[in-house]
Amino acid sequence: MSEQGVGRGRNVGGGRGAKLLAALEASRRPGEPSIVVEPPSDPTVSSEPSASRAPAGRGSALIQLLARRRVIGSTTSSPETASTAAQSSSSALTPVPSPISPSVVSQVSIESTSQVTSVVGNLNPVGRGAIARMQSLKLSSTTEVVTKQIQAQEQQKSQAISEKVYAKPILIHQENAPIVKKGEMGNKINVIANYVRVNIDPGKGIYEYEVSFYPSVDSKQIRFELLKQHREILGPAKTFDGVTLYLPYQFENTVTSFQSSHPATNEAVTVNIVLRQKRRAADSIHFYNVLIRKIARILGMVQMNRNYFNPNSPIIMPVEKLEVWPGYVTAINEFEDGLMLCCDVSFRVLRTTTVLDELVEMSKKGGYFHQTAQEVLIGLSVLTRYNNKMYRIDEILFDKNPQSTFDCQGEPMSYVDYYKKQYNIDIKDKGQPMLLNRLKKKMQGKEDETVLVCLVPELCYLTGLDDRLRKNFTIMRSLATHTKVAPMARVKALASYIDSVNNNERASSVLSQWGLSLAPMPLSIEGRVLEPERIFLSRSNFATNPQCDWSRNLGNDVLVAVKIESWILVYVDRQLNIAQDFSKTLLDVGSKMGIRINPPKMVALPNDRTDTYVNRIRDEINSSLQLVVAIFPTSRDDRYAAVKTLCTAQFAVPSQMINSKTVSNPTKLRSIVQKIALQINCKMGGELWAVSIPTKTLMVCGVDVYHDPTKRGQSVVGFIASVNPGLTRWFSRAKCQGPGVELVDSLKICFLESLKKYYEINHDYPKQIVLFRDGVGDGQLQFAAAHEATQFLSAFQSLVPPIEPKFTMVVVQKRINTRLFHSARDAINNPPPGTVVDHTVTRRDWWDFFLVSQFVTQGTVSPTHFIVVHDGGMKPDNLQKLAYKMTHMYYNWPGTVRVPAPCQYAHKLAYLIGESIRKEPQQQLSNRLYFL
């Protein structure tokens, strides 16, 4: 006997709807009445006793579920209400008191128990018989809503899915206002920055969509093909990774559906595209930079590391056997005044000699050829001109040659045949060894895969400069004429890049498809020039000149001179004359500057072996010895490190190492010895000069970290702090730490020691502290603000009693691509020292500024970037002025330096300990600048 209208074609009591009802009854909570709801009467069905009709269809099951919802919602107050609701007649459904959910499917999944789910599975819980019966009745408004939703569920495969089905909300980002902190001191000037404004068309942006497929498709390749069938609608500008789709525009509806055909089965597949968010510019920086790299390839440039260079316009240097490729460093980012492209000129130095040429030269010298080749070549980067790609030499395979074979698509092939077939290149030397490169390929969702690439030395050209070339003054001077670009030429190169992008149809379309365009000219902004500083000596003071160089003013005066009574001069006996001339000149120039130096004890050595120097100096060190000066006949790192370790880590004696070549020229001897005398005065605790510091309760600190490239994870922290009101005396600490040791722990210890030293000298703690932190990249700014600054602040509570000074932490970055130019009277020059830019091109979410502190005679000056990661309440003018003052206080150079003096001191200290000594120095030296 079949049941019509209620699940057509189903046996009485045997359909899935009946099972669903049984599960609902089994899941009834204690005290809940049984629900018996007859299906509504239908005039199209033959009149039989209602008792003989058991609800068997899925539609009836859905009605029961809705009735259960109505009963549960109406019986929470009293059981009488529940009883009344349970006795509803089959002629009509009482309207549900609470509003019905927009999605019936979601109601089923929420209100059914686990038993119900296990019975129903993934079946469509909509019975067509029930739908027919419900359509024939004069139902209440609530029931009509339910019916329409059931019909919408039935038509899901062929119609656009309602956006209410998707539970994920559209993300709406709240844009915070940019941080703006501008100073007012100084004279205003016109400045051109190497930034280009990136314009975004109205209504355009990067819209993120989530793409789903029905039926589901697991293959990413099939997903790409299904979406590609609608490229006419989606347009050429899109990025799709299999799940997330990025488009430069927004669809009219939140949910958009397309019908695709499965490429393998021809089955109809519904592609649903749901808007998730409009991405902020700050969240799309990586995407914008991908577009810029794509433009560089369109313009014919070749990527080397992270930058792109033009192989079609090389600068040939035949005498030096070098070749220079011009290129650009580009990066898009969001700044205080919007989205901008930073673009600077860059150069890549290539050698016209191949790796094979270098190997031949090494073999001619004899000795351990294999060992020498590995020491010189491993780690270098090479360029293969047949495909203009860069590779790193990871190993030299002396047991292989170009006639060796490898597996090429399942067949053995020699490297000779491969290069002839692929590039039409004939390899001449069949016996040369092969070079190995371990190329890491990134696999999405997997670990990086390592691919072994064998290279032929004959086809590999070396890139960059080695130590031999860097020590050749003639080559470096000739190279500087091409690589050190003047400001006018640099601005012209930037304008040329903008024109090449805007005038190239393919390049400009890459941007225009995403609603982007480059401004036609570089950015012009307003800068300020701070007043020149005055330098104070013991008997005089003077204003710095436009070049910020006062070396000629130090010949007769220093701020605080020391007296050296006991010191030794160690030299090789064959260089007695050099040692005597140096000693005599040192005493002469020292007396004129007020440094009283007694004649040294002359210590002659029979040879220049390292152990000879170390043993003899150890024998000479005693409690009264103030200084060790050693003259080396040649430059050797191991000897320098051994003597420095002896004097610094084993004993607490300041030392001065001198290369005999430096003091062997009589015409330059006096000027060189004068600089050595100034260094010795600092190492002995003296002071050379000072600047005006209005605040007398200020402490300035500097931090830098040296990372040992040979020992992974090893690092040295250099910490410097001023201990007097004039900021001329310094306390230093160096901490060696191994892998896994938190940097902030070492910094906190050093910081506490410096505070105690300050109190010991001044009988009070500083009221304001400014810490300049070097060596922090953009990706570490948040860590520095959240962890390092917090540790410094916690140090104040460790003192007894605790103190609460104003603490400001500033990150100093000198390896940046920003360039500033002074535009005046149709001429473009370097900005004068003291130029500050603190708006427009500064970071959106940080308080920062750029400072030009140096004067250069060749090329373009580089500004320094200061980023405040913890604000202690200083005014912008005061912090900028302090940073500029501190660039005058580096005693190893009578002029301004790029970074504040405490940063440079910390760098010198960390480098000396990490590179040469590799041990923590004696604490007795912490009050002296022994590391200069």
Is residue 260 exposed (0-12), middle (13-18) or buried (19+ Cβ within 10 Å)? buried
Q: Are strands 206-214 and 244-247 parallel, antiparallel or unpaired?
A: antiparallel
Ordered strands of the 768-774 beta sheet: 730-737, 715-722, 698-707, 768-774, 806-813, 864-870, 847-852, 835-837, 523-529, 187-193, 820-824, 827-829
- Cβ neighbours of 203 (radius 10 Å): 9
Contact 352, 461 (CB under 8 A): yes
Beta bridge partners of 345: 328
CA distance 430 to 824: 62
If we measure between CA atoms, which residue out of 197, 544, 527, 187 comes closest to residue 341?
A: 197
- Residue 595 half-sphere exposure toward CB, CA atoms < 13 A: 33
Residue from 332, 252, 259 nearest 292 by CA = 332
DSSP-assigned beta bridge partners for residue 435:
396, 455
Closest listed residue to residue 531, CA positions, set 688, 687, 692: 692
Calpha distance 227→512 (Å, rounded): 22
CA 597-601-605 angle, 5° bins: 135
Cα dihedral sign for 10, 12, 14, 15?
A: positive
Q: Name the percent of the chain in helix, strand, coil, to the closest 5.
A: 35, 25, 40
The answer to whether 717 and 705 are in contact (CB under 8 A) is yes
**DSSP H helices in 319-472:** 355-365, 369-377, 415-423, 467-470
- Name the CA dihedral angle for 858, 545, 832, 887, rounded to a multiple of 10 degrees: 90
Q: Which residues are known catalytic residues?
A: 704, 742, 774, 907
Asked, as a colleague might, if the bond just before 125 is cis with ω within 30 of 0, I would say no
Contact 629, 600 (CB under 8 A): yes
* Spatial separation of the C-alpha atoms in residues 276 and 261, rounded to whole Å: 25
Q: Please give the single-letter amino acid code of residue 412.
A: P
Tokens of 37: 């709801």
Query: What's the number of CA atoms in the CB half-sphere (13 Å) around residue 924?
Result: 11
Nearest to 514 by CA among 202, 239, 275, 206: 206
Instruction: Kindly give, in sequence order, each residue whose CB lies less than 8 Å from that of residue 665, ignoring residues fewer than 6 positions away.
Output: none
Contacts of 473 (CB under 8 A, 6+ apart): none
DSSP readout, 736-794?
Answer: EE-TT--HHHHHHHHHHHHHHHHHHHHSS--SEEEEEEES--GGGHHHIIIIIHHHHHH
Calpha distance 848→841 (Å, rounded)? 10
**In a 3-state reduction of DSSP, which class is residue 904?**
helix
CA–CA separation, 189 and 852 (whole Å): 13
Torsions phi, psi of 101, nearest 5?
-60, 145
